[in-house]
Chains A and B, each alone.
Chain A
Amino acid sequence: MDTEQQKQQYATDARPVLEAPDIARVLTRIAHEIVERAKGAEDVVLLGIPTRGVHLARRLAVKLQEITDRRIPVGSLDITMYRDDLRMHPPRALARTDIPSDGIDGRLVVLVDDVLFSGRTIRAALDALNDIGRPRAVQLAVLVDRGHRELPIRADYVGKNLPTSLREAVKVQLAEEDGRDTVLLGVKQTPQGGQP
């Protein structure tokens, strides 16, 4: 949650690394890669991680439908209750977990998130999936991989690899949430803030 002041700071200090057409292009590419690797994406279920991962998952589903001519189930997976740093912060409001009605058992689940950083969010997502069902396989699609992994986790589909320093912050803005599509790279505002 950025304050107004922080948003202002982003506006002046941060430089865009991906603009709207770039984001559309990388999502199209990821959609094609999913179809290629999943051999037609027949049993694919897309699960977005709130908030922006869900919007990205929905956009990917539209693109996959254009390519395969089939409706791809989309859902959202809130990982708050599974985080390993719950006791280090005040509790966060929960976001929506919405699993497509056919479930995920035996399906290829593609987790979708905006930024891949420490890998802890994805670890929590894998734990959450464990409680919901047993997918055939789980893959990961992210818009930006900024590095600095703390766990042995890597993405299967990456929109853009963005080498960053820990002093930098990556901010993804999407039209559905923020009114415009862009990925900004700026200087971190708080000593321990930034992307989880």
Chain B
Amino acid sequence: MQRHLISAADLTRDDAVLILDTAEEMARVADRPIKKLPTLRGRTVVNLFFEDSTRTRISFEAAEKRLSADVINFTAKGSSVSKGESLKDTAQTLEAMGVDAVVIRHGASGAPYRLATSGWIDAAVINAGDGTHQHPTQALLDAFTMRRRLVGRDEGLGQDLSGKRITLVGDILHSRVARSNVDLLHTLGAEVTLVSPPTLVPVGVETWPCEVSYDLDRTLAKSDAVMLLRVQRERMNAAFFPTEREYSRRYGLDGDRMAKMPEHAIVMHPGPMVRGMEITAEVADSDRCTAVEQVANGVSIRMAVLYLLLGGNEPAATHTRTEEK
């Protein structure tokens, strides 16, 4: 594994499986009365959030605290950033404070990569979502949830997702979750199908290692997992589909559609769910929906990533970087 976690595409199969296996052990800590390990004692981690995201931030914060790291939360709102400070200045301030890792969420795609490669800072950089680019820990926690549900908790150790068929439904264009998932699931051997209104399919999708379809009903019957993506109203600057009702009729998951899925298949959602549009309450509250499990798994995955990047004097595995996509 490299020193930073910027993109799911940077992970090799072995790196990804190592993270998933480590997370499985971290999950056991959550079952204990004392949910704490001394592993990162004396290390300082900054959660640098230029964009609001309460759930990702508290997930990272929980993971950092369970590993005994010192945590500093930095939100752009009300900070020097709103007074015009640049990313470089912020980075140099953190460097001067002797920070060991920076978890960064930024509205601009590529900001974490810039932070990691510009030489402004020596700390490990973990991407917690940048623009419409990547959200690697989300992809890892999704893969972890799939492996647990589709392969098994103990049987899954050391395994990837070879032969599993995963369908991602919704706003692919604006979704860093979709990009990260396609990269990681492909690395782990799964077959990915994207289902989306034609207007929400990004240009150049034909170069991605996945299939694209506009018809959800035909894809459902052969899916082991169906992942719904949030319709990101805040990133939409034009009308991408006529009405919410029409989106819901064609791409929303309701009880009837869920019945077409194989017995063992699961429904996933990265949250927050827009009930009634992307997913009906009936599906969201069913046993097959893993949304709440994904939140718990997020903490385990982030603990694993922090341990593997910061737990030793150098990262866990060899640096192997795939081409930039």
Q: How large is the interface on B (under 10, 10 to 19, 20 to 34, 35 or more residues)?
A: 20 to 34
How far is B22's CA from A89's CA once the two chains are assembled, in angstroms? 17
Within 8 A of B (CB), among A107-161: 127, 131-133
Q: Residues of A within 8 Å of B, CB-based: how many?
A: 19
Taking A81-B307, A91-B311 as contacts, is the C-beta distance between A97 and B38 under 8 angstroms?
A: no
Binary B-proximity of A44-72 (CB < 8 A = 1, otherwise 0):
00000000000000000000000000000
Taking A78-B25, A97-B25 as contacts, is the C-beta distance between A131 and B316 under 8 angstroms?
A: no
Neighbour of A90 across the interface among B32, B34, B39, B313, CB < 8 A: B313
Binary A-proximity of B7-37 (CB < 8 A = 1, otherwise 0):
0000000000010011001101000111011
Say yes or no: B21 contacts A91, CB within 8 Å: no
Say yes or no: A93 contacts B38, CB within 8 Å: no
**Is B314 interfacial (CB 8 A cutoff)?**
yes
**Is B312 interfacial (CB 8 A cutoff)?**
yes
How far is B28's CA from A127's CA once the two chains are assembled, in angstroms? 17
Neighbour of A87 across the interface among B32, B37, B313, CB < 8 A: B313
**Is A88 interfacial (CB 8 A cutoff)?**
yes
**Is B101 interfacial (CB 8 A cutoff)?**
no
Taking A93-B22, A94-B22 as contacts, is the C-beta distance between A131 and B312 under 8 angstroms?
A: no
Say yes or no: B32 contacts A131, CB within 8 Å: yes
Our count of residue pairs bridging A and B at CB distance below 8 angstroms stands at 51
Say yes or no: B22 contacts A90, CB within 8 Å: no
Say yes or no: B37 contacts A86, CB within 8 Å: no
Expressed in whole angstroms, the minimum distance between the Cβ of A176 and any Cβ of chain B is 17
- Which of chain B's residues has its CB closest to A124's CB? B38
Say yes or no: B22 contacts A88, CB within 8 Å: no
Interface SS, A side:
loop
Say yes or no: A93 contacts B21, CB within 8 Å: yes
Say yes or no: A93 contacts B18, CB within 8 Å: yes
Taking A93-B21, A96-B25 as contacts, is the C-beta distance between A82 and B313 under 8 angstroms?
A: no
| Residue in A81, A93, A131 with the greatest tally of chain B CB atoms within 10 Å | A81
Residues of B close to A91: CB separation below 8 A = 307-308, 311-312, 315-316
Residues of A close to B308: CB separation below 8 A = 91
Say yes or no: B36 contacts A87, CB within 8 Å: no
- Which of chain A's residues has its CB closest to B318's CB? A90
Neighbour of A89 across the interface among B18, B28, B34, B312, CB < 8 A: B312
Say yes or no: A88 contacts B313, CB within 8 Å: yes
Taking A82-B38, A93-B21 as contacts, is the C-beta distance between A87 and B28 under 8 angstroms?
A: no
Binary B-proximity of A70-88 (CB < 8 A = 1, otherwise 0):
0000000010011000111
Expressed in whole angstroms, the minimum distance between the Cβ of A101 and any Cβ of chain B is 11
Residues of B close to A95: CB separation below 8 A = 25
How far is B316's CA from A92's CA once the two chains are assembled, in angstroms? 7
Say yes or no: A90 contacts B38, CB within 8 Å: no
Say yes or no: B311 contacts A86, CB within 8 Å: yes
Residues of B close to A90: CB separation below 8 A = 312-316
How far is B34's CA from A127's CA once the two chains are assembled, in angstroms? 12
Residues of A close to B316: CB separation below 8 A = 90-91, 93
Residues of B close to A132: CB separation below 8 A = 32, 34
Expressed in whole angstroms, the minimum distance between the Cβ of B65 and any Cβ of chain A is 14
Residues of A close to B32: CB separation below 8 A = 131-132
Residues of A close to B314: CB separation below 8 A = 90
Within 8 A of A (CB), among B264-301: none
Say yes or no: B38 contacts A127, CB within 8 Å: yes
How far is B28's CA from A97's CA once the two chains are assembled, in angstroms? 8
Since A87-B312, A90-B315, A95-B25 are in contact, a sample of 9 more A-B pairs with Cβ atoms closer than 8 Å, ordered by chain A residue number, is A81-B39, A81-B307, A87-B313, A89-B313, A90-B314, A91-B311, A91-B315, A94-B307, A131-B32
B interface residues with partner A (beta carbon < 8 Å): 18, 21-22, 25-26, 28, 32-34, 36-39, 307-308, 311-316
A interface residues with partner B (beta carbon < 8 Å): 78, 81-82, 86-97, 127, 131-133
A sample of 18 cross-chain residue pairs with beta-carbon separation below 8 angstroms, ordered by A number, consists of A78-B25, A81-B37, A81-B39, A81-B307, A82-B39, A86-B311, A87-B313, A91-B308, A91-B316, A92-B312, A93-B18, A93-B22, A93-B316, A94-B21, A94-B25, A97-B25, A97-B28, A132-B32
